[in-house]
Amino acid sequence: MDKLFTIAKNTFIETLRQPVYAIIIVAALFLLFISPSLTMYTMSDDNKLLREIGLSTLFLTSLFISIFSASGAVAKEMENKTILTVLTKPVQRPIFIIAKFFGVASAVVLAHYICTIALLMVIRHGVLETVNDPHDWTVIATAGVVLAAVFLLSAFFNYAYEWKFSSTAIVLTGIFATLGIVFLIFIDNKWQFNPKGNGMNAVDIYGSVLLLLAAIIMVALAVALSSRFNIVVTLSCCIGIFLLGLVSDYAFGRFAETQLWAKIGRYLVPNLQIFWISDAIYEGSQVPVKYILITASYALCYTTAILALSIALFQRRQVG
């Protein structure tokens, strides 16, 4: 367990220090920031469209971080030959694969958590459908304080202790964003204590949890592929499987009862459509907890199977 924790911790820190990790998070936060302006041109469903676009941004952000971060988790160490140092400690190969998975998954969870808080703030502010709609200055001020505190503290730690600015800023963003969303849960747009009028919906939180489960599956898949292939092949395969997973019911489901290839494809390719709850948003219906549990069980079984396959593939891999 000590070796597993050490490798997972190092993988987590290395992922946070990757430039692409910070770039994707900053791009996602920017898209969430401008999304109210992009969704104000519908006839009557501006806020529903805002929630769907926000969840779509969250979905793509977590999946791209999963793919890019996990793709290099094993393949890059093989290319740099640093894996030889690890495996000669000795570290068992299953421990190495599992630790890499947990390290990358932890980084994905952190990024997903930060973007989820930003999404909840954006939904709380809402779309200004008319010129008479006021801004939610509570949300704007809270977001401004969080960003200012993160920037100043990250600059201070970088100057005083030579901590890497990007990774420090990401961790501090998670901390201050938590304080900010807790403040917004209890304070309404009139700066009054009003928990019932915080404008937040449990369906949005459920949707974020489901999308995180899909991202975890993609992390396991990327780790499995990177144990046998280089980064380019791993990225290509992950993107292809991701696109197939989005249309699984259309591509495989309608032929599964009559065609053997469709039945095999339906079981091999993860069905990512079950993690998307756009219908519940537009219909205004609730997402039962039972559905969350069933979907989480599906994600757990699928992730476990992929990790078992990746361990089997990595057992006989020549790394010297």
**Count of structural domains within the chain:** 1
- Token digits for 178? 């938590």
Kindly state whether residue 119 falls inside one of the protein's structural domains: yes
pLDDT bucket at 2, cuts 50 / 70 / 90? confident
Distance CA 110, CA 310 (A): 24
**pLDDT per residue over 114-162, tens digit each?**
999 999 999 888 887 666 677 888 999 999 999 999 999 999 999 999 8
Kindly state whether residue 309 falls inside one of the protein's structural domains: yes
Kindly state whether residue 93 falls inside one of the protein's structural domains: yes
pLDDT bucket at 319, cuts 50 / 70 / 90? low
Stretch 234-262: mean pLDDT, rounded?
Answer: 84
pLDDT bucket at 246, cuts 50 / 70 / 90? confident
- Token digits for 71? 């793709």
175 membership: H or E segment, kind and range:
helix 165-186
**pTM recorded for the entire structure:** 0.90
Burial class (CB in 10 A: 0-12, 13-18, 19+), 90: exposed
The pLDDT value recorded for residue 43 is 58
The pLDDT value recorded for residue 28 is 93
pLDDT bucket at 293, cuts 50 / 70 / 90? very high
Kindly state whether residue 278 falls inside one of the protein's structural domains: yes
Q: Name the residue range of residue 268's domain.
A: 2-315
Kindly state whether residue 68 falls inside one of the protein's structural domains: yes
Q: How many angstroms from the chain centroid is the CA of residue 153? A: 25
Kindly state whether residue 320 falls inside one of the protein's structural domains: no
- Res. 107: pLDDT tops 80: yes
- Res. 266: pLDDT tops 70: yes
The pLDDT value recorded for residue 83 is 67
- Token digits for 137? 């200055």
Look up residue 266 and give its amino acid.
Answer: R
